[in-house]
Amino acid sequence: MAKIELSFYPGCSSQKGATSSNYLVSAQTMCEELDIQLNEIPDWNCCGASIGYGGGGELPRLALSARNIALSEEHNSGQEIVATCAACWLSTREAKERLHEDEQMFKDANAALSEAGLKYQGEANVRHMVEVLVEDIGFDGIKSKVKKPLEGLKIAGYVGCQTNRPFGIAGESFENPKYLDNIVEAVGADSIPTYEKKVQCCGGALAFSEPEKSQEMIKGIIEAAYDNGADMIVTPCPLCQANVEIYQDNINDTYGTKFNMPVVYYSTLMSVAFGRSAKDAALDGQVIPAKQLEEIASK
């Protein structure tokens, strides 16, 4: 397989000491094994996520993403931009489309960018890491790298919202995307095609501002995984991962449940299946330990 070079937008939550720092570690491990070179966009900034709109409005919010794209075009010229975070990907791609459709907005964004000595052209393709896996590497390509199949593990593929809508992965349906199940199968585990909460919202940023309402939805996501006999949940989104994993104690207190369901990233599964250590797979970043993966990694 030829080496793939990408302009990488890691995003705030992936930074050291932040909520999805474990995602970054496992994604880097996964990319090493797949011969994908990630060239970080120098001096990238926050995309505004899905909640910044209320403080930022339209143009200031779009300018955030325009700056990242402009920096990528300047320093990682000719490379496609790739994000691991769903909100980073969505905001960046959305900004690119809006600035493409609206000529005035394009001019206004460039007027703002010129204050930082930058110029936005909007030519770089903006992709999610999952697209690279599905479209460039392929499920067979993933399978061919597996050294330790995750045999006997039953994993619920929780796709969530923003990796799936409004853009999603080409060829997949919004209601029942199958790529995550295919990745689970490719690493040798059993997928759960009947997992009915795979595209249910976890509350997103409202897990912070409306915790009760969000935790009610998160409860359903975890409950359905148990009902389907899952050993763990896998997701491509950092906020989905955090929301579904870290509030299980609170949900247990509220609803009298006994949830203790590990929630991991696709990159965690792949790092372990590719034969890398628990540390490289960032299994030490689990709040709810994924013991079965730890066992496989230590073999």
Partner 1 sequence: MSDLNTAMIEKYRSNFLKEVEANVEEGEWVKMCMQCGVCSGSCPLGKHWDHPPQEIFMMIRANKRDEVLGTDSMWMCTSCYNCIARCPRGLPITHIMHGLAVYSKRLGLTQKKQPTAEFSQIFWDNLMKKGRVNELKLGLSMYFKDGFGQGVKNAMANQKLGQNMMKAKRMNPMEFFGGHSVKDLSGFQSMVKKAQEIEEGNLKEAK
Site of interaction with partner 1 (CB under 8 A) = 12-13, 15-22, 43-46, 48-60, 62-64, 67, 108-109, 111-113, 115-118, 161-162, 165-166, 168, 174, 200-201, 203-206, 208-210, 213-214, 217, 242, 246-247, 249-250, 284-287
Q: How many other β-carbons are positioned within 10 Å of the β-carbon of residue 147?
A: 10
DSSP code of 80? P
Nearer to partner 1, 137 or 158 (CB): 158
Shortest distance, position 146 Cβ to partner 1, whole Å: 26
Give Rg (Cα) of the chain.
19
Of 299, 288, 295, 290, the residue nearest 267 (C-alpha): 290
Shortest distance, position 41 Cβ to partner 1, whole Å: 11
Nearer to partner 1, 11 or 145 (CB): 11
Nearer to partner 1, 21 or 136 (CB): 21
Nearer to partner 1, 3 or 17 (CB): 17
CA–CA dist 203, 211 (Å, integer): 8
Nearer to partner 1, 13 or 72 (CB): 13
164: Cβ–Cβ under 8 A, 6 or more apart, which residues?
172, 174, 177, 199
Shortest distance, position 132 Cβ to partner 1, whole Å: 22
Shortest distance, position 1 Cβ to partner 1, whole Å: 32
CA–CA dist 134, 141 (Å, integer): 9
Of 199, 56, 58, 44, the residue nearest 126 (C-alpha): 44
Residue 235 phi/psi, 5-degree rounding, is -145, 155
Shortest distance, position 254 Cβ to partner 1, whole Å: 12
3-state class (DSSP) for residue 128: strand
Nearer to partner 1, 1 or 116 (CB): 116
Of 225, 159, 153, the residue nearest 190 (C-alpha): 153
Residues β-bridged to residue 234? 157, 264
Nearer to partner 1, 60 or 149 (CB): 60
Shortest distance, position 190 Cβ to partner 1, whole Å: 27
Shortest distance, position 205 Cβ to partner 1, whole Å: 7
